[in-house]
Amino acid sequence: MSGFAGIVRMEPTLDTAEADRAAIARMAEAIAFRGPDAQQQFSRDGASFAFSLLTTGPAPQAAEQPLTLDGETFFLGEARVDGRGELIAKLQQHSAEVLPSSGDEQLVLNFIALFGIESLPQLDGDFSFVLWKPRERRLFAFRDLSGSRPFFYSQSGGQLVFSNTLQALLVSGNVARRDYDQQFIANFLLGAPHFDAERTIYRDVRRLPAGNLLDFFSGEVSSRSIARYPIEELLSFRRDDEVLDEFRRLFMLAVRDRLPESDTTILLSGGLDSTSVAAAAVAERKSQNNPNLKLNAFTLDFCPLFQDEEASLAQDFAESLNLPFQLIHLAHILPLVGADGGPFKLPEPCDYPYPGLQQFYVSRFRPDSRVVLSGDGGDEIMRAEGAPFLRDLSSRFGKARAAMVVLDYIFSRRRLPALGAGLRIRFLRLIGKGAQLPTFPTWIEPAFERQFELRKRFLELTEKPSSAHPWHPWSYAKLVRFIPPLMEGQDAMFSGRPLEVRAPFLDRRLIRFLLCLPPIPWYMEKELLRRAQRGVLPDEIRLRPKVPLQHDPLELHVAAGKWSPSAPDVCPPALRGMIDWPRLQHSLTIAHGTELYVHLCPVLLALWLNAVEKSDWIQ
């Protein structure tokens, strides 16, 4: 996606104007890798902006930013609107001068001019942008619910510095690059760096949480949530075919609005979600009869570390659609590689034990591919959890109604519905065959633990996530808490490649529909998707049970003798007083299973910190 950065001062002077021009030049250089098509800088009246353009489509994009329609409000950032036709019609009904050729940025400006800042949650799409009002000396920033487009900012002394690229803030001269946020570090050590959505590793830098609006006025910053996924009543359909038809319609719209008229990579596995995205993309390309739309299938596996059928299923499916297919093996990528340096340095530490993996496979994408389609979100939304739904039915309509739903499912499907209450997992743990809950790390220093109440936070992290949604509490919580960091982690600032990852299952129109369906029967073993894809996907994929990763690459690398878990000899200065380093080193020698992931968090953090301390390597 395109890059943007800016500096806004409430009370500019000649001296600060010169300093800001120099700073925005450095920030422009930091975001240049995002946009090979154009780079621009702008400075006037206490505002300095930089923009680097990555042309993706399918909608027209503004070739220059900041963009203004009236000289009063200036747009800088990223906007990809879903449902453009409906939005254009709505704006035209209110006498706005928009055409089918209008860029998404122009549509956003017209929408805000008509309906106001508070109406932003009504817009469907992916957004991360600012609106600068020089006459009012006021700036707003908005980030959509999916979190796929990041936004970072730092505020001090009546000045706001911001960008969708963390590296840009680090070269602005306004951020103490070795002054770390201890709460972020505490969360990171527990394996949950984004538990507090607004924090970054740097004390002076904040990220705007998904769905939030930032307001910078009179030298002060405030941020509040203005967008939320809706909690609505169950949809009522007379026939199953109506449900399936509506899902197919919305899913095709989601793919169509994300599909550019250029080279596109599809991250493909042998599962339902990504193959559904690929099939819809191919169908859309055929309907457009557009030879310029080139689709490529890209699959990853850990061969020869272990064998599974994902790659062969994906390859057979890609060939059936006449998609060029590329398979990349990842077995040679060892744990911790990339945590302490490499050709493209991470702006924040990575809590995944394979921090160099993403940069490796992204560098293998076709050079002209600027958009990546993924199946992310499908598993999170269509989570089989019948128990909350049955409890809600019982409380509102009586136990007999809930029992009828269960019995109808049993007699029609010849199996029990998945309740999602954790009974099976608890039973397996009881007999010693299930994954045990992680225990609190003994290497965390007691004083640090007490200061940040880490035992209490650890208990929160090990509990099943929940929300106020009456029958999809887990899915709703996943959308709010886990999807934004997942999508942000695929951003160009972490891969070093000008690419935009788009996930059709995270389309807000589709999510709204899916959250209004009863989980029994539609989400039991993903029945909705399996039935909707009848005749579209081969049965070997469509009817295949959900198969988790059969082996843990981390444990296999250890068992093969290719890698052994260890920590640096010395604890980094930034972590002293937080970690008992000898105890951590001992824990790594005896850890196995999921515990190993917990014990590797301080190692990943230490390697990253050591690299930072050695040199000014942030790009």
CA distance 50 to 442: 47
Place of tokens 């690229």: 165
Integer CA distances (angstroms), 363 to 177, 229, 358, 360, in order: 28, 34, 8, 5
Residue-level pLDDT at 617: 47
pLDDT range class, residue 1, cuts 50, 70, 90: confident
Residue with tokens 């057979």: 316
537/292 Cα distance (integer angstroms) = 25
pLDDT tens for 509-561 read: 999 999 999 999 999 999 999 999 999 999 999 999 877 666 788 888 988 88
pLDDT beyond 60 at 421: no
Which are the contacts of 14, defined by CB distance < 8 A and separation ≥ 6?
Answer: none
Return the minimum-mean-pLDDT range out of 229-233, 556-560, 590-594.
590-594
Burial class (CB in 10 A: 0-12, 13-18, 19+), 526: buried
Instruction: Check pLDDT > 80 for residue 342.
Output: no
Q: Which one has a higher pLDDT value, 39 or 547?
A: 39
* 426, pLDDT greater than 60: no
Q: Which amino acid would we find at residue 272?
A: L
Q: What is the mean pLDDT of the chain?
A: 91
Give residue 390's identity as a one-letter amino acid code. L
User: What would the pLDDT profile of 271-283 be if each residue is shown by its tens digit?
Assistant: 999 999 999 999 9
Q: Are strands 67-68 and 500-502 parallel, antiparallel or unpaired?
A: unpaired
Q: How far apart are CA 182 and CA 445, in angstroms?
A: 14
Distances (CA, A) of 77 to 29, 143, 318, 319: 16, 10, 35, 38
Compute the distance between CA of residue 196 and CA of residue 256 in angstroms, rounded to an integer: 34
247 in Cβ contact with 381 (< 8 Å): no
| pLDDT exceeds 80 at position 428 | no
Cβ–Cβ under 8 Å, residues 141 and 117: no
- Residue 471: pLDDT above 70? yes
Residue 343 buriedness (CB in 10 A; 0-12 / 13-18 / 19+):
exposed
Helix axes 594-614, 581-590, angle to 10 degrees: 140
Report how far apart, in Å, the C-alpha atoms of 343 and of each of 3, 166, 178, 499 are: 20, 17, 21, 17
Report residue 337's pLDDT band, with 50, 70 and 90 as the boundaries: confident
Per-domain residue ranges of the chain: 3-225
Tens digit of each residue's pLDDT (9 = 90 or more) over 362-376:
989 988 899 999 999
Confidence bin at 66 (pLDDT 50/70/90): very high
- For the chain, give the percent of residues with pLDDT over 70: 95
Q: How confident is the model at residue 615, as a pLDDT?
A: 62
Q: Say what the pLDDT of residue 174 is.
A: 87
Supply the pLDDT for residue 616: 57
Task: Report the share of the chain in percent with pLDDT over 90.
Answer: 76
Give the residue carrying structure tokens 């790009």.
619
According to the model, what pLDDT value does residue 425 have?
A: 47
Mean pLDDT of 420-436: 50
Question: Do the Cβ atoms of 172 and 9 come closer than 8 Å?
Answer: no
Average pLDDT over residues 465-474: 92
**pLDDT for 435:** 55
Structural tokens at position 1: 């996606």
Distances (CA, A) of 126 to 33, 188, 210, 508: 21, 27, 11, 10
- On whether the CB atoms of residues 441 and 598 are closer than 8 A, the answer is yes
Maximum average pLDDT range among 90-94, 306-310, 343-347: 90-94
Higher pLDDT, 472 or 611: 472
What's the pLDDT band for 407 if we cut at 50, 70, 90? very high
**According to the model, what pLDDT value does residue 434 have?**
52
- Run of H or E including 409: helix 399-413
Among the ranges given (108-122, 233-247, 283-297), the one the predictor scored with the smallest mean pLDDT: 283-297
Q: Can you tell me the distance from the alpha carbon of 67 to that of 86, in angstroms, rounded to the nearest whole number?
A: 23
The residue type of 569 is D
Output the CA torsion sign for 326, 332, 335, 338.
Answer: negative
pLDDT of residue 446: 97
CA separation, residue 539 to residues 252, 279, 382, 525 (Å): 20, 14, 20, 15
At the second CATH level, the architecture of 3-225 is: 4-Layer Sandwich (3.60)
Q: Which residues, listed in sequence order, are joined to residue 8 by a DSSP beta bridge?
A: 47, 160
Asked if residue 613 lies in contact with residue 573, where contact means CB atoms within 8 angstroms, the answer is: yes
Task: Provide the pLDDT confidence category of residue 430 given band limits of 50, 70 and 90.
Answer: very low
On whether the CB atoms of residues 219 and 244 are closer than 8 A, the answer is no
Alpha carbon dihedral 469, 470, 473, 477, in 10-degree steps, equals 10
> What's residue 612's pLDDT?
84
pLDDT at 427 over 50: no
3-state secondary structure at position 130: strand
> What are 159-184's pLDDT values in tens digits?
999 999 999 999 999 888 889 999 99
- Quote the pLDDT of residue 549: 67
Using CB atoms within 10 Å of the CB of residue 76, give its burial: 0 to 12 exposed, 13 to 18 middle, 19+ buried: buried
Tens digits of residue pLDDT in 384-406: 889 999 999 999 999 999 999 99
The tally of CA atoms less than 13 A away on the side-chain side of residue 533 is 24
DSSP annotation string for 484-542: HHHHHTTSHHHH-S--EEE-GGG-HHHHHHHTTS-HHHHTGGGHHHHHHTBTTB-HHHH
Phi then psi for residue 512, to 5 deg, are: -60, -40
For 155-158, the CB contacts below 8 A with 24+ separation are 155/216, 155/220, 155/221, 156/204, 157/219, 158/9, 158/10, 158/11, 158/219
| Mean pLDDT for the stretch of residues 438-466 | 92
Cβ atoms within 10 Å, residue 198? 13
Give residue 344's pLDDT: 64
Position 326 pLDDT exceeds 60: yes
Is the pLDDT at 429 greater than 60, yes or no?
Answer: no
